[in-house]
């Protein structure tokens, strides 16, 4: 939530839902193994940019390749 911003809405996005949003690009820039075999199937993006320390597990990488991401 952004406090004191006039156009802000009061909504909560849970991590397991966040990655399944339809977007063009997901940028992973910090946490290791954030994309794994459990959530890789739920990704709804065209491209992933890896800027972090190993954000995608080997099993997730195989799933993403099969999905052409």
Please give the average per-residue pLDDT across 34-62, as a whole number: 93
Which of 64, 62, 17, 66 is CA-nearest to residue 45? 64
Classify residue 13 by burial, with Cβ atoms within 10 Å: 0-12, 13-18, 19+. Answer: exposed
**Percent of residues, the chain, with pLDDT higher than 90:** 54
What's the whole-number mean pLDDT along residues 46-67? Answer: 94
Question: Which pTM value belongs to this model?
Answer: 0.75
Mean pLDDT for the stretch of residues 27-45: 91
């Amino acid at each position: 939530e952004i406090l004191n911003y006039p156009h802000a809405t009061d909504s909560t996005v849970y991590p397991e839902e966040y990655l399944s949003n339809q977007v063009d690009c997901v940028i992973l820039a910090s946490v290791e193994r954030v994309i794994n075999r459990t959530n890789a199937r739920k990704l709804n993006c065209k491209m992933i940019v890896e800027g972090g320390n190993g954000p995608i597990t080997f099993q997730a990488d195989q799933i993403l390749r099969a999905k052409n991401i």
